[in-house]
Amino acid sequence: MTHPVVSRAAWTPTEPATLVGRVACALIAATVCAVAAMPAAAQSGGYQAPRGADGHPNLNGLWQALNSAHWDVEPHGAGPSVVRDLGALSAVPGGLGVIDGDVIPYTPEAVAQRDENRANQLQRDPAIKCYLPGVPRGMYMPFPVQIVQSQQHIMILHEFAGAVRTVYMEDHVPAPADSWMGWSNGHWDGDTLVIETTGFNGMTWLDRSGNFHSEALRVVERITPRSPETLSYEVTLEDPNVFTRPWTIRMPLYRRVEEHAQLLEFRCVEFVEDLIYGHLRKQQE
C-alpha cells in the first residue's frame, strides 16, 4: 500500500487528535496572548545594566549581529550568489529586513544608481576589495565587534579589515576630513549611548545589495543595554543627496559568550591583492 506524499509547502497543522494535545495547544495560545499583552518594560524585566566608574552602563564586550542585513537591509527572498561556482554555500539567505517601513526612501535618481550597483556588485562592492566597511555596515557584517569603553572615549573595533572607530565623548568637533569610517561624537541619553557620525567619503555601501549613500551621510546610532547578553541597536540615516527623508534601522546585537571569545585578525588585504593589483602585474613574455 502506498501513501500520498505531502510537501511541506502544502502541509498545514490539523487539530490535535488527543485531549493532551488540545490542552497543550490551549496553554501555548494563552501564554502567547499573555506575553503579547505585556508592556515592553515588563517583557524586558526593567533590566539595569552594570555600571562603570562614571555611573553609565558598561558596554564593554564582544558583540555581533545575527541577521541577514549584511546581504540586504531591506526585506528580501533567498537567491543565488553572484559567484555561481560556490553553489549553495554562497547563496543569499532570505531576510525580513531591519528597516522601519521596510523600504529605503531613495530619490528616483538614487534608485537608478542602486539598481546599477546591484547589477554590478561583484565589481563595485567596496568590501569585496577589503576597503573599510563604513557605518553602520560594519556593525552588522558577519564578524564580531568589540566595544572598549572609557569616560573620554569609546573605541569600536571591527574584526573585518581591522577597522577602528573612536567615539569622542568630550571636546566634540566637526570631522576634520572625510574618511571611510567617518568622525564620531558621542554622549549619553540616560542609559543609551548616542553616537553621531559624519565626515564620510561617500564610497562605502550599506550592504551587499548595492544600497548606498553619499558623502553627505549623517548617522545617529543609539545603543541601549536590553539584557546581560543583548544590546538594542538603532540607527537613523540622513542624506539629502540620496534619500527623501531620514530612515531608521533596528536590530539586536548579541554578546559573544563562548570561553576565550576575542577579536581575531582578519587582514583581508592579503586575500584580495590579486583582485586589486593583478592588472599591474608585469605580463610574461
Q: Please report, for the chain, the start and end positions of each structural domain, with discontinuous segments joined by +.
A: 61-273
Higher pLDDT, 32 or 61: 61
d(CA 198, CA 162): 20
d(CA 216, CA 153): 25
Lowest-confidence region among 18-27, 122-131, 238-247, 275-284: 18-27
For strand 164-168 and strand 183-189, is the pairing parallel, antiparallel, or unpaired? parallel
What average pLDDT is seen over the chain?
86
Confidence of residue 284 (pLDDT cuts 50, 70, 90): low
pLDDT digits (tens, 9 = 90+) for 152-187: 999 999 999 999 999 999 999 999 999 999 999 999
Burial of 125 (0-12, 13-18, 19+ CB in 10 A): buried
pLDDT higher than threshold 90 for residue 76: yes
Nearest to 100 by CA among 118, 75, 78: 75
pLDDT higher than threshold 80 for residue 71: yes
d(CA 203, CA 150): 30
> Residue 207: which region, alpha, beta or left (left: phi > 0; alpha: psi -120 to 50)?
beta
pLDDT digits (tens, 9 = 90+) for 182-208: 999 999 999 999 999 999 999 999 999
Nearest to 182 by CA among 196, 161, 162: 196
**How many other β-carbons are positioned within 10 Å of the β-carbon of residue 282?**
5
Mean pLDDT along residues 79-99: 90
- Helix residue spans in the chain (DSSP H): 19-37, 40-44, 108-119, 121-124, 273-277
Mean pLDDT along residues 211-224: 98
Scan for cell 563562548, then name that residue: 258
Lowest-confidence region among 165-174, 176-185, 251-260, 276-285: 276-285
Q: C-alpha cell of 79?
A: 537567491
DSSP 8-class letter at 29: H
Q: Global pTM?
A: 0.81
d(CA 176, CA 155): 18
